[in-house]
Chain A
């Protein structure tokens, strides 16, 4: 029973805040709802992009937390071998997957009868690449610096930093995504 209450106590506040932040993102989506419905590839790409950036929050936090518990992390954090190595793994994957999301969502939309052209694809690529690169860097910093502080406070970074990084990913994706759609379309 002790574990249950420890998990609930550590998680409930941050989960509510994270979920509310994402719901605020829902208002952002509502403002571009018409464009999302008209430009089908954007609607198809949104959950995948959102997921992917959130996934990196979970991966970075989970791997960093396990390494902290195993005593592998030494200060200064950003210069430590583990952190540099993790960044070298994550960033190329993130950019590659951003290209894949653009390509796949345009292809699926074409298959569903959406008419498109090369300029549309380039704009779409720009939106996914800018959103991905900026948010992955932000999430990386938050997960590493925040994770270390949470660990020092004798709490489990998995319970606190995963909701925080994924909500940054969610809200950030919706803000950048909505902003770029508003500017480019």
Chain B
């Protein structure tokens, strides 16, 4: 059966597309899926760094497009998991080196050999974005609970709908339950109400993510903590498992509830 091509995009930069792509790819591979992650951010490649595979790049996506190497030669295997590969972007070229038709062709070749082809899109809505969504069957839109990020996500969802790639599904990244409780941050329902698309998952804000991306070790690799759990839940939902959206808990709220419980309730 042919695999699914899923593009991760956002419109706004810095909301966590690359981290989400690296972790979902790794989580899906841990669940036994054959996965390739594709860095479509030509000229500003990051996915290899976040996955800790930078030093193993020989060929890249542009080399494949230009016929310098075969697709198989450009794929880097992640030895920490079974069946996880990276197709890196070129760093010394720009997005004009690749056309949407090239991306469709590459995605079609990859889907023959993998269950999941996950494409990391560059920020923006220009050619790099159009390349990244060209070959997609489904689109995952990442946003943070900020008005500007939600506005850009809305714009991107409109563009995806215009290209008949479906409305897309939503990941809300870097949610701080405590700030939501205080009314200082958009809540999940605020975001979903504006964007009106299906919610795939919620990922809490977590300092451990910064450490893991700097080390090049996706946080789902060791599989502990709320963020790893949130990402793993999203991966399982992508595989079609009937699991509910992970709800980040308010640490202080939980702690105070526990404390009340220990004291004998009120």
Do they bind each other? no
